[in-house]
């Protein structure tokens, strides 16, 4: 910061780097949610998956010494929670939103309970690629330290779009999401497809949680997640059920979330908490704007029917 | 259907949850029987613990209504947390403006301001749902985060009492304007508010034309529109009443407990209210015992930590298990109703 003027370049670089760092867990939970919602069910419990994944990933990485085993374990807890969600939701008159809230409470409770001994020890972190070594600017170098999981996510987003568009399984999920009757007419097992989609979505959310504890912010504590899992549902609406747009939306949300801390780093502290609300206000504004056209393009039919 | 099924099935679900929870803490190495005893002692064992339980139940009754009332319309509103926060903030501000007024005027003003702000917040959720087709669950969730951000901004920034160091808060509303206790107990008047509001709403639903209209909208929106009901206004009003109840919970927290608005307002009362509303099957009268039960779990969590060295998240685990089994019991309900339908 030079004199009274704010160093906008530094802010911009910090927001850019933050968009990637803060956006990666958003990316994984939103892809998971997108997969689940394409099959016609909303999983509001991904917040529980995220926190469980963060705890399990950290614990397993600490015990085994391998962060990648941690990521796998995080995904596995997500599969388990996804299974419970799907099992309850396929019962008559059970509401998927309520089940999501229940699993959020249970997942958070279990993670805090079992994670108590993990607050002290330090587990190995996930590796990052240093793509900014050519630059002399330390801010830019820090921003370009990109985690491998982010790159996995960037590849996964178009891959999932291709999966929905061009594979038999993708078609099955879309059909189930569009109409129960049509799916049954095609000979598809509606509950089975939804269960697989929810479990796979849970896996991705768990991996997103592992990113939180094994990379950024890193470490295990009870304040690790700030509602990224709950935001996933809003993000998917924002991205209109398109995996590639989930990637853009996650970066945008990550950037919006990084705005407050970035401004703080150059000495602007006013309104820090208001900037934290930026992603939520943005989502709300977009939902209102998107709904005014009365057309929800991309929304799975069985979600629109209620 | 079984004659007492609406009461029996949730009770069985809760009993099963306690068994499962016992298994869980047993696996974690605690003495199961002693844990049960601690929960009982901490929640209902003595008059002292009863007072704690009823005090914790007060805001829960009110936040449960925020989910239970719109649920009659088929809406799932989860914005109780946000309504508590804005309600508490509005109550504290009103209390500071009316600092020299008569205590009765100040308390009435605080309650009204809290109910109005909370009501408008959730009313907006209902209006967005009906008028603009914005999903009420998501929008109310977003409002929670936005409300908490506004609260943090205001109590850390412009409204901060410089003397509050550890927990930034607004100025104190003054001891003479605090909400008193019921008789010579330590239970504050918030519990009375909760009881009165639950009873009033039950009468409203059961005995008035408005309640009938609400059920009609909840049953079939198109039929309600065809018969000329002002559906938009009903949705707005019902959501507003739910928000007003949760806003009042915020006022109670400020006027009876903290004396100031600060981030203690988002202590999870709103989220726990959702659970209670579902456990009570959105029935205003059933909310009262459910809120007392969950208030008891809250009140006993300290004892569980001290006596058994269990983490404070233990009660969260118990809540989660109960919520899941209550929802699963909905399926039993549905099966019973179906069997009855085919027998008739």
| B278 contact A CB<8A | yes
In a domain, B1, yes or no: no
Residue A295 pLDDT > 60 = no
| B336 contact A CB<8A | no
- B28: helix, strand or coil: coil
Residue A306 pLDDT > 60 = no
Average pLDDT over residues B204-233: 89
| C-alpha to C-alpha distances, B29 to A70, A110, B15, B16, B26, nearest whole angstrom | 25, 15, 21, 20, 5
In a domain, B262, yes or no: yes
A47-61, A215-229, B141-155, B314-328: the lowest-pLDDT one: A215-229
Nearest Cα of chain B lies from the Cα of A144 at a distance, in angstroms, of 30
Cβ distance of A234 and B321 shorter than 8 Å: no
Cβ distance of B156 and A273 shorter than 8 Å: yes
CB pairs under 8 A between A and B: 141
In a domain, B175, yes or no: yes
Task: Work out the pLDDT band at A6, boundaries 50, 70, 90.
Answer: low
Task: Work out the pLDDT band at A59, boundaries 50, 70, 90.
Answer: very high
Nearest Cα of chain A lies from the Cα of B30 at a distance, in angstroms, of 13
| B156 contact A CB<8A | yes
Cβ distance of B149 and A276 shorter than 8 Å: yes
Q: In this predicted structure, what is the pLDDT of residue A227?
A: 79
Q: Which of B125, B141, B148, B266 to probe by mutation at the A interface, max A CB count within 10 Å?
A: B141
Task: Work out the pLDDT band at B337, boundaries 50, 70, 90.
Answer: confident
Residue A39 pLDDT > 60 = yes
Residues 6 or more apart in contact with residue B196 via CB below 8 angstroms? none
Q: What DSSP element (H or E) covers A130? A: strand A128-130
Structural domains of chain A, ranges and CATH numbers in brackets: 8-304 (1.10.3470)
Residue B263's domain comprises 59-291
Cβ distance of B311 and A97 shorter than 8 Å: no
List chain B residues with CB under 8 Å of A97. 76, 78, 137
- What stretches of chain B adopt beta strand conformation (E)? none
**8 A C-beta contact, residue B197 and residue B63:** no
In a domain, B328, yes or no: no
- What length is written for chain A? 306
Residue A207 pLDDT > 90 = yes
Half-sphere exposure of B99 (CA within 13 A, CB side): 11
Instruction: For the beta carbon of residue B266, count every other beta carbon within 10 angstroms.
Output: 21
In a domain, B3, yes or no: no
Total domains, chain B: 1
Distance CA A132, CA A142 (A): 7
- A5: helix, strand or coil: strand
| B195 contact A CB<8A | no
Question: Model confidence over B41-66: pLDDT tens digits?
Answer: 999 999 999 999 999 999 999 999 99
Share of chain A above pLDDT 90, in %: 54
| B342 contact A CB<8A | no
Task: Work out the pLDDT band at A297, boundaries 50, 70, 90.
Answer: low
Which residue among B312, B321, B334 places its CB closest to the CB of A93? Answer: B334
What phi, psi does A64 have (nearest 5°)?
-85, -20
A105-114, A293-302, B300-309: the lowest-pLDDT one: A293-302
Task: Work out the pLDDT band at A129, boundaries 50, 70, 90.
Answer: confident
Chain B residue with Cα closest to A95: B327
| B314 contact A CB<8A | yes
List chain B residues with CB under 8 Å of A272. 153
Residue-averaged pLDDT of chain A: 88
Share of chain B above pLDDT 90, in %: 61
Which residue among B134, B316, B319 places its CB closest to the CB of A288? Answer: B134
Give the dihedral sign, CA B303/B305/B310/B315: positive
Q: Which of A30, A104, A106 to probe by mutation at the B interface, max B CB count within 10 Å?
A: A106
Q: In this predicted structure, what is the pLDDT of residue A167?
A: 96
Q: In this predicted structure, what is the pLDDT of residue A1?
A: 42
Residue A2 pLDDT > 50 = no
Which residue among B139, B149, B324 places its CB closest to the CB of A277? Answer: B149
In a domain, B310, yes or no: no
Residue A4 pLDDT > 60 = no
Q: In this predicted structure, what is the pLDDT of residue A50?
A: 96
In a domain, B274, yes or no: yes
Average pLDDT over residues A132-137: 83
Q: In this predicted structure, what is the pLDDT of residue A229?
A: 87
Task: Work out the pLDDT band at B334, boundaries 50, 70, 90.
Answer: confident
Nearest Cα of chain A lies from the Cα of B114 at a distance, in angstroms, of 22
Q: In this predicted structure, what is the pLDDT of residue A54?
A: 96
Q: Which of A256, A284, A300 to probe by mutation at the B interface, max B CB count within 10 Å?
A: A284
Half-sphere exposure of B323 (CA within 13 A, CB side): 32
Instruction: For the beta carbon of residue B32, count every other beta carbon within 10 angstroms.
Output: 17
What DSSP designation does A2 have? Answer: B
Q: How much is the pTM?
A: 0.89
Q: In this predicted structure, what is the pLDDT of residue B121?
A: 97
Tokens 């919520």 belong to residue: B323
List chain B residues with CB under 8 Å of A227. 145
Average pLDDT over residues B189-207: 93
Task: Work out the pLDDT band at A296, boundaries 50, 70, 90.
Answer: low
Residues 6 or more apart in contact with residue B268 via CB below 8 angstroms? B81
Cβ distance of A234 and B275 shorter than 8 Å: no
Chain B residue with Cα closest to A117: B311
Residue A304 pLDDT > 80 = no
Which residue among B157, B316, B338 places its CB closest to the CB of A109? Answer: B316
List chain B residues with CB under 8 Å of A293. none
Nearest Cα of chain B lies from the Cα of A133 at a distance, in angstroms, of 37
Which residue among A105, A233, A283 places its CB closest to the CB of B320? Answer: A105
In a domain, B340, yes or no: no
Tokens 């799907």 belong to residue: A86
Question: Model confidence over B68-125: pLDDT tens digits?
Answer: 999 999 899 999 999 999 999 999 999 999 988 899 999 999 999 999 999 999 999 9
Q: In this predicted structure, what is the pLDDT of residue B293?
A: 92
Task: Work out the pLDDT band at B2, boundaries 50, 70, 90.
Answer: low
Cβ distance of A280 and B146 shorter than 8 Å: yes
Half-sphere exposure of B239 (CA within 13 A, CB side): 27
Cβ distance of A287 and B271 shorter than 8 Å: no
Cβ distance of B324 and A277 shorter than 8 Å: no
Distance CA A82, CA A87 (A): 8
List chain A residues with CB under 8 Å of B323. 101-102, 105-106
Could you tell me which residue, A263 or A104, shows the higher pLDDT?
A104
Share of chain B above pLDDT 70, in %: 97
Cβ distance of B313 and A113 shorter than 8 Å: yes
Residues 6 or more apart in contact with residue A210 via CB below 8 angstroms? A53, A54, A56, A57, A58, A61, A67, A70, A71, A73, A74, A75, A126, A149
**8 A C-beta contact, residue B308 and residue B38:** yes
């Amino acid at each position: 910061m030079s004199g009274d003027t704010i160093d906008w370049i530094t802010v911009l670089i910090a927001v850019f780097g933050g968009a990637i760092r803060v956006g990666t867990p958003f990316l994984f939970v939103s892809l998971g949610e997108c997969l689940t919602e394409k099959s016609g069910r909303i999983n509001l419990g991904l917040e529980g998956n995220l926190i469980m994944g963060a705890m399990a990933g950290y614990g397993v990485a600490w015990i085994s010494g391998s962060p990648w085993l941690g990521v796998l374990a995080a995904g596995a807890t997500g599969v388990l929670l996804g299974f419970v969600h799907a099992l309850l939701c396929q019962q008559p008159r059970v509401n998927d939103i309520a089940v999501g809230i229940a699993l959020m409470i249970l997942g958070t409770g279990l993670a805090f309970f079992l994670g108590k001994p993990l607050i002290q020890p330090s587990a190995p972190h996930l590796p990052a690629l240093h793509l900014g070594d050519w630059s002399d600017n330390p801010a830019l170098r820090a921003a370009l330290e990109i985690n491998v999981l982010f790159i996995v996510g960037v590849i996964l987003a178009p891959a999932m779009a291709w999966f929905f568009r061009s594979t038999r399984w993708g078609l099955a999920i879309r059909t189930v999401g569009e109409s129960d009757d049509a799916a049954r007419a095609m000979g598809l097992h509606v509950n089975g497809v939804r269960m697989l989609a929810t479990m796979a979505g849970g896996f991705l959310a768990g991996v997103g949680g592992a990113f939180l504890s094994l990379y950024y912010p890193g470490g295990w504590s009870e304040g690790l997640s700030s509602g990224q899992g709950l935001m996933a549902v809003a993000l998917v609406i924002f991205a209109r059920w398109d995996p590639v747009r989930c990637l853009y939306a996650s970066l945008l949300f990550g950037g919006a979330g990084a705005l407050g801390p970035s401004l703080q780093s150059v000495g602007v502290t006013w309104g820090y908490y208001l900037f934290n609300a930026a992603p939520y206000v943005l989502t709300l504004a977009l939902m209102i704007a998107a709904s005014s056209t009365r057309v929800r393009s991309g929304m799975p039919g069985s979600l629109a029917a209620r | 259907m079984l004659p007492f099924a609406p009461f029996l099935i949730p009770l069985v679900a809760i009993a099963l949850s306690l068994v499962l929870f016992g298994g869980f803490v047993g696996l974690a190495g605690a003495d199961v029987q002693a844990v049960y005893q601690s929960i009982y002692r901490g929640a209902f064992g003595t008059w002292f613990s009863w007072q704690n339980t009823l005090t914790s139940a007060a805001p829960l009754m009110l936040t449960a209504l925020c989910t239970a009332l719109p649920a009659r319309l088929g809406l799932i509103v989860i914005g109780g947390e946000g309504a508590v926060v804005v309600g508490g903030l509005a109550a504290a501000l009103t209390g500071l403006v009316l600092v020299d007024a008569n205590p009765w005027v100040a308390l009435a003003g605080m309650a009204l301001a809290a109910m109005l702000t909370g009501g408008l917040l959730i009313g907006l959720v209902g209006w967005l749902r009906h008028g603009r087709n914005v999903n009420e669950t998501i929008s109310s969730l977003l409002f929670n985060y936005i409300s908490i951000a506004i609260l943090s901004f205001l109590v850390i920034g412009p409204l901060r009492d410089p003397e509050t160091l550890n927990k930034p808060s607004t100025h104190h509303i003054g001891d003479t304007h605090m909400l008193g206790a019921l008789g010579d107990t330590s239970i504050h008047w918030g519990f009375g508010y909760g009881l009165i509001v639950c009873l009033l709403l039950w009468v409203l639903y059961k005995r008035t034309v408005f309640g009938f209209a609400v059920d009609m909208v909840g049953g079939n929106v198109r039929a309600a529109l065809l018969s000329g009901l002002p559906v938009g206004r009903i949705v707005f009003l019902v959501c507003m009443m739910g928000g007003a109840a949760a806003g009042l919970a915020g006022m109670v927290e400020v006027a009876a407990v903290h004396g100031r608005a600060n981030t203690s307002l988002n202590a999870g009362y709103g989220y726990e209210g959702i659970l209670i509303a579902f456990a009570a099957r959105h029935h205003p009268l059933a909310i009262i015992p459910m809120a007392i039960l969950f208030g008891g779990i809250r009140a006993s969590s300290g004892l569980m930590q001290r006596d058994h060295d269990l983490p404070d998240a233990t009660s969260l685990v118990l809540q989660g298990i109960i919520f899941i089994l209550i929802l699963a019991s909905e399926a039993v309900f549905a099966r019973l109703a179906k069997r009855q339908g085919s027998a008739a």
